[in-house]
Copies of this chain bind each other. A is one copy, B any other.
Amino acid sequence: MTDAPSGTGRNGHPTPPAMDRLTCVIPAGGVGSRLWPLSRANAPKFLLDLTGSGDSLLRATWMRLAPLAPADRVMVVTGSAHRSSVTRQLPELLSENLVTESEPKDSSAAIGLAAALLELRDPDAILGSFAADHVIRGEVLFQRAVKTAVQAADRGLIATIGIHPGHPSTAFGYIACGAARDDIAPFDVHDVSEFVEKPDEATAARYLESGKYLWNAGMFIARASVLLDQMAESQPEMVAALREIAAAWETERGAQVRERLWPTLPKIAIDYTVAEPAAAAGRMVCIAAHFEWDDVGDFASVANLLTRGRSSDLAVLGDGAQVLSDASSGIVVSESDRLVALVGVEDMVVVDTADVLLVTSKSRAQDVKGLVNRMKITGGGHLL
């Protein structure tokens, strides 16, 4: 791959190298309700330290992107309620690169607005979208994959990064790879045949066996204008509204336009407005990557991350956590320094916060979301 100038841009001037036109967008939304009571409405997953590193997932994401783009080319899209938390976590973030939503509208609107703003700043801008609340290990492999994706994006394609599955996970969606695209980079670039939902165990095993399926890590890299044009094919009104909001953004009318149009936008994931139709139209490529990736969907994932997959360890998360245990599995998350004692119980999930204590098992960790949903209806919402 090369970072050499790509040629002549739309405005007739020579365009800078593709990597110099990359802006990393970090959509920071989603509470992560399977991680309740650690995650809360005012302490969403991306603000949590789930690896014991001392950094929130958002901060870790920022630092991971730093070698790829300078601070003035990293943008965060988040809920207005999280503005101060985000700026505290990311003091380097420029104020014009902090985009807040008055209400959550899912990833099409969030990433689409970022794309519309970038497109105005530079018609040749390349956007790379990276979730604020995933964990990645293997920074160099990650950087290499992004650089390859940027090459593809520079050619007008929409690129995603897929992860070689380490096991037949039923917790992730998959990407089915098609023909190799050695024209972009040797090895590891393929057309995307299709995106598939979380499979059952037999299907996941088959995917792993075939070698043609990658985990969908939800990363998208494309020219901002290409991404918006793709979205406009199925959501023309939405994209028109996003471009109208962006055009007014820094004017006196900005707030007014935003308040008028934002609430009208549909809540829809970018998978449906961009990724799947682009794949169907042959405009989507996938970079197959070998770094470790996890979306840290529940406490079982947190346990596996902390023990780095070793199955004979109790995982412990919390600065002052004090644990006395005969368990060789499970996880204790503690926000206090009081003693947590486990006697004769395996595979437990114990989450000890100031106002809520959760006890579940690794195998039932996904069901925490159901409890949270019931609490929304039956009361206890102040604890969510």
Interfacial residues, chain A to chain B (CB-CB below 8 A)? 37, 324, 326, 338-345, 348, 350, 352, 354-361, 363-364, 367-368, 370-371, 375, 380, 383
- Of A37, A357, A375, chain B has the most CB atoms within 10 Å of the CB of A357
Kindly provide the distance from the CB of A49 to the nearest chain B CB, expressed in whole angstroms: 21
Kindly provide the distance from the CB of A356 to the nearest chain B CB, expressed in whole angstroms: 5
User: Which residues in B have their C-beta under 8 angstroms from that of A370?
Assistant: 343
Contact status B357-A343, CB under 8 Å: no
Minimum CB distance partner of A343 in chain B: B360
User: Which residues in B have their C-beta under 8 angstroms from that of A338?
Assistant: 354-357
User: Which residues in B have their C-beta under 8 angstroms from that of A371?
Assistant: 324, 326, 341, 343
Kindly provide the distance from the CB of A217 to the nearest chain B CB, expressed in whole angstroms: 28
Q: List 27 A-B contacts (CB under 8 A).
A: A37-B339, A324-B375, A338-B354, A338-B356, A339-B356, A339-B357, A339-B383, A340-B359, A341-B356, A341-B358, A341-B371, A342-B358, A343-B358, A343-B359, A343-B360, A343-B367, A343-B368, A343-B371, A344-B360, A344-B361, A344-B363, A344-B364, A344-B367, A345-B361, A350-B357, A350-B359, A359-B359
Kindly provide the distance from the CB of A352 to the nearest chain B CB, expressed in whole angstroms: 6
Minimum CB distance partner of A348 in chain B: B359
Contact status A345-B324, CB under 8 Å: no
Give Cα distance in the complex from A383 to B355, angstroms.
22
Give Cα distance in the complex from A182 to B363, angstroms.
61
Give Cα distance in the complex from A256 to B348, angstroms.
55
Contact of A341 (CB < 8 Å), options: B343, B345, B354, B357? B357
Give Cα distance in the complex from A75 to B326, angstroms.
42
Give Cα distance in the complex from A371 to B343, angstroms.
8
User: Which residues in B have their C-beta under 8 angstroms from that of A356?
Assistant: 338-341
User: Which residues in B have their C-beta under 8 angstroms from that of A341?
Assistant: 37, 356-360, 371
Contact status B380-A360, CB under 8 Å: no
A-B pairs, top 8 by smallest CB distance, nearest first, are A344-B364, A343-B360, A339-B356, A341-B358, A338-B355, A340-B357, A343-B367, A342-B359
Contact status A352-B357, CB under 8 Å: yes
User: Which residues in B have their C-beta under 8 angstroms from that of A363?
Assistant: 344
Give Cα distance in the complex from A360 to B326, angstroms.
10
Contact of A380 (CB < 8 Å), options: B324, B342, B352? B324
Contact status A355-B343, CB under 8 Å: no
User: Which residues in B have their C-beta under 8 angstroms from that of A350?
Assistant: 357, 359
- Of A343, A352, A360, A363, chain B has the most CB atoms within 10 Å of the CB of A343
User: Which residues in B have their C-beta under 8 angstroms from that of A342?
Assistant: 358-360
Interface contacts beyond A338-B355, A342-B360, A343-B358: sample of 16 additional A-B pairs, CB < 8 Å, sorted by A: A338-B356, A339-B355, A339-B356, A339-B357, A340-B359, A341-B356, A341-B357, A341-B359, A341-B360, A342-B359, A343-B367, A344-B360, A344-B361, A344-B364, A345-B361, A345-B364
Kindly provide the distance from the CB of A37 to the nearest chain B CB, expressed in whole angstroms: 7
Contact status A360-B345, CB under 8 Å: yes
Give Cα distance in the complex from A361 to B354, angstroms.
23
Kindly provide the distance from the CB of A70 to the nearest chain B CB, expressed in whole angstroms: 44
Minimum CB distance partner of A341 in chain B: B358
Contact status A343-B364, CB under 8 Å: yes
